Amino acid sequence: MFEIIIYILLILSLIYGFYFLIMASGVFRKKKCEIDNNKKNHFAILIAARNEETVIKNLINSLKKQNYPSNKYDVYVIVNNCTDNTLEVAKNAGAKIIECKQKVKSKGEVLKYTFNKLKSNDEIDAYVIFDADNVVHREFLNKMNDSINCGYEVVQGFRDTKNICDNWLSTSYAILYYLQSLFINKSRFNFGMSSFLNGTGFMVKKETIDRYGYDPKTITEDIEYTAICAINGIKIAFNENAITYDEQVTDFKSSLKQRKRWSFGAIQCLKNYTGSLIKEGIKNKRFECFDVIIFYFGIIFHVLFTIVSLIGIFYNVFYLNDFNSMDVVIYFIMFLINYFIGVVFRMIVIKKCNKSIKENIWGILLFDLFVLSWFPINFICLFIKDCNWDHIKHDRNVDTLNI
């Protein structure tokens, strides 16, 4: 019986891996954007900020330096639950201030408050969302404007890292986002499918928010809104030239806390949206709905396969007594081969994204440890009932000129 379960999970893992391999192959295709007009759309740039006095000025400065007409965008900083000088720093840097005085539990609730506040502003064509610790490439708004003029309603930009070389953990995060940008978002976009939002550096047309509303139910508003877009037949585009530089966590404790929120939010999305995604996917033949479900189920599958794999090893060793020294050598060689392939692949990705292999070698070598540490996080999140939106401290005072 146990062997049957192992074989079933092995087959499922092969199917799962083959599916993502097919999806990732789209990175080698090319898709051109046919621009319908040369309109300069008006952007409202939204930055949710809680105790971000150290980093908020650099983001605002990078936005003020955009190669885009200054009368065609406004920078709004939405301060919430601040106990520092974020409001004063943002105001002095030239941003417009929105004070969110009501109690909020997530960034999504802050955005909901802001969308309602700006709903009557007919000057706005689209919203652009950033995290307070970001800095932005000077062509960002130009590239997003091109995407709007191609007819896209929701667009995710390329998520780069401003502190990739800090330590192995920041490099691991950067690699994770490079993989997502290239092999999930770019590949799907090239196939004519919907990409995934990943938290910051994305654009949503105002009329889309006004038409469908914005009422987040989870603590991961990005992948939740990805589901909402799929349900409503909105394809999320990807623009790799609209670049955001994000600050990554550098201590392991904060990393565990952050990734716990991500995993718990994905499970919340699975519970809240699977039914609607299946219904709309079948009714309107929207493959994107099933693509989102598969993404959500990744956490559960990861936990199940890891547990059964570990049990399988112990079963062979202690119960069947069917594990000799040659088996150990074979498994070790297979491990080394797979690890070597992974390292080479990550080197190629780092080089593709114009980063130094030498300066990021520890993150390249230890990326598997980063991924492995996700197992206990995912396992715990299957059983807990709540997860707080904890503040992650940002203190890397980096300007775009220093990247």
CATH at residue 340: 3.90.550.10
Give the pLDDT confidence score for residue 4 in this predicted structure.
Answer: 78
On whether residue 158 sits in a domain, the answer given is yes
| 356 in a structural domain | yes
Q: Is residue 40 part of a domain?
A: yes
Quote the number of domains for the chain. 1
The end-to-end CA distance of the chain, in Å, is 56
- Say what percent of the chain tops pLDDT 70: 94
Domain-embedded: residue 185:
yes
Compute how many other C-beta atoms are within 10 angstroms of the C-beta atom of residue 275.
Answer: 9
Measured distance CA(52)–CA(83) in Å, rounded: 10
pLDDT tens per residue across span 48-61? 999 999 999 999 99
Task: Tell me if residue 266 falls in helix, strand or coil.
Answer: helix
Task: Determine the Cα–Cα distance for residues 129 and 200; give it in Å rounded to an integer.
Answer: 6
Mention every residue, 6+ apart, whose C-beta is less than 8 A from residue 11.
none
pLDDT class of 403 with cuts at 50, 70, 90: low
What six digits make up the tokens of 170? 């920041």
Residue 335 pLDDT exceeds 90: no
Average pLDDT over residues 1-22: 80
Asked whether residue 279 carries a pLDDT value surpassing 80, the answer given is yes
Q: Which residue has the tokens 């307070």?
A: 132
Identify whether 119 is part of a domain.
yes
Q: How many CB atoms lie within 10 A of CB 14?
A: 10
Look at residue 34 in the predicted model and tell me its pLDDT.
Answer: 77
Domain-located, residue 236? yes
Task: Give residue 231's domain range.
Answer: 1-397
Whether residue 403 is contained in a domain is answered as no
- Angle between the 252-283 and 168-179 helix axes, to the nearest 10 degrees? 10
Within a domain: residue 402? no
